[in-house]
Amino acid sequence: MKLVLASKNAHKLVEMRDILSQLGVEVVLESDVGVDVDVEETGTTFEENAFLKAHAVMEASGLPAIADDSGLCVDALGGAPGVYSARYGGPELDDAGRYRLLLENLRGQLDRRGKFVSAICCCFPNGDRVEARGECPGTIAYAPMGEGGFGYDPVFFLPGLKKTFAQLTPEEKNAVSHRGAALRAFREKLEVYLKK
Ligand code: IMP
């Protein structure tokens, strides 16, 4: 089965392919099926936004579409940046600008707890939906460390591993990450759905 990933993020494609290839599911990008949909993420929850993205790409392509909406929720900031993680600080900031702003907003803050959340939604042309959620707790480092990954990876520290997400190999990150957890839960649900 072919699933269209409602995203232009190649990092997400790699993470999704790794986990879903075991089910014999082929994940392709919107551009691979000639679709380019710009979806406004107007939802107030990760679940709503994942649905908005998957539904729009399913409608445009006529194929089952999968979307992930994810973000970083920081306790001391009341859950921010949350669903606004990709837009934190405004459109002129890049990934490094966003994590620097986060560090700035946490300056002097000793409570560094936070979690990454990922909500996955798959919409089928017949109206069916398969959804899953994953979380990964950690802390916000005091300074960036590591070169891998994307987004807030250099400042998201895993006390158990004593490393940031950016210091993990893609396989190590998949094993502990919010998206890895959500995708494994999703894979199980999809397996049950496909057997129906
Ligand atoms: P989305 O593409 O709308 O889901 O935006 C999610 C945003 O959350 C990304 O742009 C990143 O800033 C952040 N994010 C989500 N997952 C990760 C991750 O695994 N590592 C680092 N940042 C992430």
List the pLDDT tens digit at each of the 196 positions of the chain.
899 999 888 878 887 887 888 888 999 999 999 999 999 999 999 999 999 999 999 999 999 999 999 999 999 999 999 999 999 999 999 999 999 999 999 999 999 999 999 999 999 999 999 999 999 999 999 999 999 989 999 999 999 999 999 999 988 998 999 999 999 999 999 999 988 8
Residue 20 has a pLDDT of: 87
Known catalytic membership, residue 95: no
- For residue 81, is the peptide bond before it cis, meaning its omega torsion is within 30 degrees of 0? yes
- In this structure, are strands 2-5 and 65-74 parallel, antiparallel, or unpaired? parallel
Rg (CA), the chain: 17
Provide the whole-model pTM: 0.93
The whole-number pLDDT of residue 162 equals: 98
Q: Which residues line ligand 1 (CB under 6 A)?
A: 9, 41, 68-72, 85-86, 116, 149-153, 165, 177, 179
pLDDT computed for residue 7 by the predictor = 87
Q: Which residue in the list 69, 94, 111, 128 is annotated as catalytic?
A: 69
**The pLDDT value given to residue 100:** 98
Give the model's pLDDT for residue 161. 98
Q: Where are the extended beta strands (E) located within the chain?
A: 2-5, 26-29, 65-74, 113-123, 129-140, 156-158, 163-164
Q: Which of 14, 150, 168, 178 to mutate to test the pocket of ligand 1 (most atoms within 8 A of CB)?
A: 150
Whether residue 161 contacts residue 182, with contact meaning beta carbons closer than 8 Å, is answered with no
How high is the pLDDT of residue 98? Answer: 98
User: Cβ(99)–Cβ(155) under 8 Å?
Assistant: yes
According to the model, what pLDDT value does residue 17 have?
A: 87
Ordered structural domains, the chain, with CATH: 2-194 (3.90.950.10)
